[in-house]
Amino acid sequence: MQKKIRVAFIYKKSNIFLTLKHFDTAYYHFFIDALKRNPRIDVTYFPSDNEFDTNILKGKFDIILLYENWNYNVPDKLIGIDNIGIPVIARCGDFHATKRYDIISYHEKYNIDYYFGFSHPDYFYKFYPKKFNYKTIIFGLEKSLYENIQPFENRIKNKILNSGAIAHANISHKLKSRFKKPTHGDSIFEYKLRTMCTKLPYVDYTPTLNHDYVGDKYTILLQKYQAAIAATTNFPTIKYWEIPAAGCLTFMEITKTNNGDYLGYIDGESAIFINEDNYKEKFEEYLRNPDLPKWKEIAERGRKHAMDNLNNDIATNSLADLMEKLL
C-alpha cells in the first residue's frame, strides 16, 4: 500500500473562508472537505495567529501547504521556514493584487517552492516572475451539492440569470473611472461584459449578497433557470464550472483575453461562447425558441464536463501529483 503524503496545512484562525459563514464556500469544501477525503493525502490542520513555528513539523510532515501566498489569511511569520527542508506549496489568490500588497516579497519570506490556482499559467505570469513555478488546478466544485438538480424543463426559460459582482453604477465610481483608466481589480475592468448584460430586459440580475442564495444555497438559485451567464473579462472564475454543474445552459465569455479555452468546454456542444460583440445575438437565438431540444443537450454535456473533469476530487488528485513531484 502506497504511503500517504503527510501534509501540514497552515492558515490564520481568523480565515472566514475556511468556515461556512462566508458567502463563498468553495474554499472550505476544497481545503477542508476534499483534502481530507483524498486517499493519497494525510492532512493536519494548523490554524494559527500571526506567527507559527514550523520547526514543530520537522520529521513529521512531507509537505507544507499554505492557504495563500501572503499574510492576509496566513501567519505573517513562519518561523524556521527557510531551513525546515520541507517543500512549500501555496495557493495563489487574486493575481492582480500582487503589486498592491507587495505579495512577491512573501516568496522568499515563506520559502515557496510551487504555486497553484485555477487560472491559466499565462495569467499568473502576467504578475509573477517566469522563474516561479505554477500549476493550474481547477478547484471549487463540490459534486455533492449538484447531484440532485431540478429538471431542465421545469425551470424559468424566458429569462437568463446573471449573478455576481458588476461595475458600480453610482456617480462617484463613474467619475472615478472617467478620470482614471480602469485596471486589474477595478470592477469595470474585471466584469465589463457581465455588467453590459445586466442592462438587457430579459436578463435577471442577482447581486452577490442581496439575496438568500449564498454559500451552499447558490446552486438552488442556479437551478431556477434554464440558462445563466458566466462572464469575467480577464480570467475564468468558479462560476464557469458551478453554473454548468447546476444543469444550466451556460453563456460563457471565452476570449483570447481570458484564455478560457483551457477549461475544455466546446462552443455549441457544452456551452455557448459569448463576447462583447455577439452576446445579444446569442441570447436572443435561445430566447426565440427555448424549447428546442439542442439547448437541453448542450446543458447536459456542459454539466457532464464540469462534474467529471472540474470537481474538487480531480483537483486534490492534481495537487497530490504536484506534491509527489516535489518529493
Q: Tens digit of pLDDT per residue, the chain (327 long)?
A: 579 999 999 999 999 999 988 889 999 999 999 999 999 999 999 999 899 999 999 999 999 999 999 999 999 999 999 999 999 999 998 888 888 888 999 999 999 999 999 999 999 999 999 999 999 999 999 999 999 999 999 999 999 999 988 876 544 444 444 545 555 555 565 889 999 999 999 999 987 666 678 789 999 999 999 999 999 999 999 999 999 999 999 999 999 999 999 999 999 999 999 999 999 999 999 999 999 999 999 999 999 999 999 999 999 999 999 999 999
What are the strands, taking DSSP E only, across the chain? 5-12, 41-48, 51-53, 63-66, 77-79, 88-91, 114-117, 134-136, 160-163, 203-206, 227-230, 249-253, 272-274
pLDDT at position 94: 84
| Distance from C-alpha of 289 to C-alpha of 188, rounded to nearest angstrom | 32
Q: Which long-range contacts (CB under 8 A, 24 or more apart) does 157-160 make?
A: 157/226, 157/227, 157/290, 157/291, 158/202, 158/287, 158/290, 159/202, 159/203, 159/204, 159/225, 160/197, 160/202, 160/203, 160/204, 160/225, 160/227, 160/228, 160/229, 160/251, 160/283, 160/286, 160/287
Strand-pairing partners, residue 225, are: 156
Residues with Cβ < 8 Å from 190, sequence gap 6 or more? Answer: 165, 184, 232, 233, 234
Q: What's the CA gap between 221 and 206, in Å, rounded?
A: 9
On whether the pTM is more than 0.75, the answer is yes
Question: Which grid coordinates belong to 253?
Answer: 465569455
- Cβ count within 10 A of residue 138: 24
Residue type, 293: P
Residue 174: the pLDDT is 46
**Domains by residue range for the chain, with CATH:** 5-140+311-326 (3.40.50), 144-309 (3.40.50)
From the centroid of its chain, how far is CA 52?
Answer: 27
Number of other residues whose CB lies within 10 A of the CB of residue 133? 14
What pLDDT was estimated at residue 170? 41
- pLDDT (0 to 100) of residue 30: 98
CA–CA dist 15, 255 (Å, integer): 34
Q: Residue 190 has what pLDDT?
A: 80
pLDDT at residue 164, as a whole number: 86
